[in-house]
Amino acid sequence: MFTVTTSSPEETRKIGEALGRLLAPGDVVGLIGDLGAGKTVFAQGVALGIGAKGRVTSPTFTLIHEHMGRIPLYHVDVYRLRTLDDVESIGIEDYLYGDGAVVLEWADQVLSILPEDRLDIVIERPDRDGDDNVREISISPHGERYQHMLEELKAIACRRD
């Protein structure tokens, strides 16, 4: 696991952007965090890193947004879905095992249907003297590919300091 602290939405977006540059078709990234933690801001960065054009917003009501870049990016939000059957009914497996990368918000609600190999990212808002912009981003790789990806991401994150 690797944890990085950011102090602004721009810094959070930059970590996502660095990750987006590393993603390949079939990659799955699970985002975990409370409301307002910064999951969508992180996903915006991933989209930038993939080279997606257009505005990236939370797919809370549409459930899935597709963004085209050097590879397809499927931005999924399962917050409003109450059961695994609900999640499966949106055709989630087509995305998880498809031709693009998946960034899934509220991944902790559907861990049992996610691929065993994936990257889990927990974004938290620590209480830091009232600074609402500080985020702790903890990245946990599951599988060899994601371990290598994390090592590359660490090198990038450490260079930015």
Written as one string, the DSSP assignment of 86-124 is: HHHHTTHHHHHTSSSEEEEETGGGSGGGS-SSEEEEEEE
Does the pLDDT of residue 109 top 70, yes or no? yes
pTM of whole model > 0.85? yes
With 0-12 CB in 10 A as exposed, 13-18 as middle and 19+ as buried, what is 72? middle
Which one-letter amino acid corresponds to residue 117? D
CATH of domain 2-160: 3.40.50.300
pLDDT, position 85: 83
- The single-letter DSSP state of residue 143 is S
User: Helix 9-22 vs helix 144-160: angle between axes, to the nearest 10 degrees?
Assistant: 140
Alpha carbons within 13 angstroms on the beta-carbon side of residue 51 total: 9
pLDDT of residue 61: 66
84 is written with which tokens? Answer: 């695994």
Parse the chain into domains and list their residue ranges.
2-160
Alpha helices in the chain (DSSP H): 9-22, 39-50, 84-89, 92-96, 144-160
Confidence of residue 160 (pLDDT cuts 50, 70, 90): low
Residue found by looking up tokens 């963004």 in the block: 67
- Average pLDDT on 72-80 reads 90
Mean pLDDT (the chain, rounded): 90
Mean pLDDT of 43-66: 86
* pLDDT bracket for residue 161 (50, 70, 90): very low
| Measured distance CA(45)–CA(147) in Å, rounded | 20
Cβ pair 50, 67 in contact under 8 A: yes
Sign of CA dihedral 9, 11, 17, 23: negative
